[in-house]
Amino acid sequence: MHTSRIFCFGNFVNGRWQRSINDGINVYNKYTNLGIGMVANASGPEVDAAVTSAYDAFNRKELDSLQRFEILMNAAEIVKKRKEEIVELLVSEVGKVYKDAAAETDRGIQTLIASAEETKRISGSGVPMVQPGYQPNVAFTVRVPVGVIAAITPFNFPLNLALHKIGPAIAAGNTVLLKPSEKAPLTACMLAEIFQQAGLPEGHLNIINGTGEVGRFLLADERINMFSFTGSPEVGRLIKNGSGIRKVTLELGGNAPNIIHDDVTDLERAVKLCMKNSFSNSGQACISVQRIYVQNRIYQEFIEKASAEVSSLIVGDPMHDHTDIGPMISEEAAKRVESWVDEAVDSGATVLIGGRREGAFYYPTILTDADASMKVVCEEVFGPVVTIIPYETIDDAFGMANDSRFGLQVGVFTSNLEIFRRATTELNFGGININNVSSYRSDVMPYGGIKDSGLGKEGPRYAIQEMTDKRLIVIH
Ligand code: NAP
């Protein structure tokens, strides 16, 4: 059953919801298209109040690391207790299928626990100070929080990606201003109450709702010390260019390649993993399998198995626990994907399966005969479309995989140790998965791309390094 609750969120400032939602933004269920809520559309004064709240809370320096540990563990426990409610809201506001929403919520709990655990491990290191003519002084570094962090998140994993910013930021002793996506802001807004119940004092987490316009006010406010952004490369570039001499981490897009060599140990497994991760979340994931390069000798078998696998996927109501593929975030997004597929077909690509749109649904689609000049190959599709391209030598496969402005993650299936060794140095990506797909991510690992895929790493331990400054202490 889709939730019939109507949610109403203003801006969460200094521990209270500011209820004014004049000219607010409507949020609707992506499957039923019925309204499920409204959020504020903040402008300058509201953003200013939120920054003041975060700035003052940071300067109060009221939480030690054990208190931060307890708050984060409490938050994990509350998310666990409220899981069903959170999952239903994720399904409604994103159109994410039930099992994926449940998986995201479970991951969010782990992100919180991992952040809590890191509160006890934030430390610097000893510095050898040996220099001719100087007494050898004792020196060491300590890690100090950067201050106020603006966290800007996308629509596709609205819970876990918000927690990947809030968790480490709080763990390190910072305060946070969260600006969730206007397309799916409700789950993130629930976090205000969750953290309050968990014991986080007022001002440490503030939530500003609104459009991308909010970014302009955030960038102009020099009390913000760091921007932690996840979203498209276009907006990431704006934030990088507008943030001046302040810290920035950017988790951006990708068009992830996956290489299936003819010595793959288990072709069946490779096909299943590739197909599942081409279409889960309707392909709206930065590490979604988008380009599959298959060695010529196993190409025919691969596409036959892939096609059979896709035929068994269930497209429909995301609230049903057997559904595999739900709607995209909007009809407009599905129309964009449709136009890219049509364009590819006009240029010579073949639709092996799918290639059909119904409202916001785009049916899982496999394209063959595609090449690097087509958007479905060289840009980020961010929809349920995958291309399967044959290759002869592993050099060809590495060349095609690297031929991209993105560099987030790559998957390589091989049983050849030499190919594995070469992959680690010759593939230009932030993460390389051997014998798994590009989409593999554990929440504790260092995660982040190179080139247009971003800057800096997430994963609580690594995000904390980004969200702290190294301070040198020398005892003379
Ligand atoms: P988006 O359009 O870039 O939006 C991301 C966030 O930025 C939203 O909160 C958006 O607000 C806000 N925003 C828009 N314009 C802004 C501006 N000028 N200044 C500051 N903030 C602004 O991305 P999306 O469509 O939500 O998400 C899809 C993209 O995110 C894809 O490229 C995907 O690959 C990437 N992504 C990357 C990762 C990763 O970890 N690498 C993970 C998930 C997604 P509004 O929604 O209100 O416009």
Give the pLDDT of residue 132: 85
Neighbours of 112 (CB within 10 A): 32
What Rg, from alpha-carbon coordinates, does the chain have? 23
Ligand 1 touching residue 232 (CB < 6 A): yes
* 448 found inside a domain: no
Ligand 1 touching residue 235 (CB < 6 A): yes
Contacts of 377 (CB under 8 A, 6+ apart): 255, 290, 291, 344, 370, 371, 387, 389
Ligand 1 touching residue 261 (CB < 6 A): no
The answer to whether residues 303 and 204 belong to one domain is no
- CA 211 to centroid of ligand 1, rounded, Å: 11
pTM for the model? 0.97
Minimum-distance ligand 1 atom for the alpha carbon of 154: 26
Cβ atoms 35, 27 nearer than 8 A: yes
Mutate which of 30, 156, 218 for ligand 1 pocket (most atoms within 8 A of beta carbon)? 156
Structure tokens at 308: 């059979």
Cβ atoms 171, 72 nearer than 8 A: yes
The answer to whether residues 288 and 414 belong to one domain is yes
Edge-to-edge order in the sheet of strand 247-251: 16-18, 11-13, 205-207, 175-179, 148-152, 226-230, 247-251, 454-455
Say whether 286 is catalytic. yes
The answer to whether residues 23 and 82 belong to one domain is yes
- CA 57 to centroid of ligand 1, rounded, Å: 27
The answer to whether residues 220 and 273 belong to one domain is no
How confident is the prediction for the chain on average, in pLDDT? 97
The answer to whether residues 313 and 393 belong to one domain is yes
Cβ atoms 114, 164 nearer than 8 A: no
Contacts of 184 (CB under 8 A, 6+ apart): 27, 93, 94, 155, 158, 329
Ligand 1 touching residue 215 (CB < 6 A): yes
The answer to whether residues 286 and 229 belong to one domain is no
Give the pLDDT of residue 131: 83
Task: Report how far residue 391's alpha carbon sits from residue 370's, in angstroms, rounded to the nearest whole number.
Answer: 12
Q: Backbone dihedral region of 337: left (phi > 0), alpha (psi from -120 to 50 degrees) or beta? A: alpha
Say whether 378 is catalytic. no
- CA 443 to centroid of ligand 1, rounded, Å: 20
- CA 118 to centroid of ligand 1, rounded, Å: 27
The band of 311, judged by pLDDT with boundaries at 50, 70 and 90, is: very high
Q: What is the mean pLDDT of residues 123-137?
A: 86
Give the pLDDT of residue 307: 98
Cβ atoms 207, 191 nearer than 8 A: yes
The answer to whether residues 302 and 182 belong to one domain is no
Range of the domain at 44: 7-252+453-475
The answer to whether residues 323 and 243 belong to one domain is no
The band of 134, judged by pLDDT with boundaries at 50, 70 and 90, is: confident
Give the pLDDT of residue 418: 98
Task: Report how far residue 212's alpha carbon sits from residue 301's, in angstroms, rounded to the nearest whole number.
Answer: 46
Neighbours of 21 (CB within 10 A): 19
* 447 found inside a domain: no
Share of the chain above pLDDT 90, in %: 95
> Which listed residue (104, 286, 309, 458) is catalytic?
286
| CATH code: domain of residue 377 | 3.40.309.10
Q: What is the tens place of the pLDDT at every residue in 337-373?
A: 999 999 999 999 999 999 999 999 999 999 999 999 9
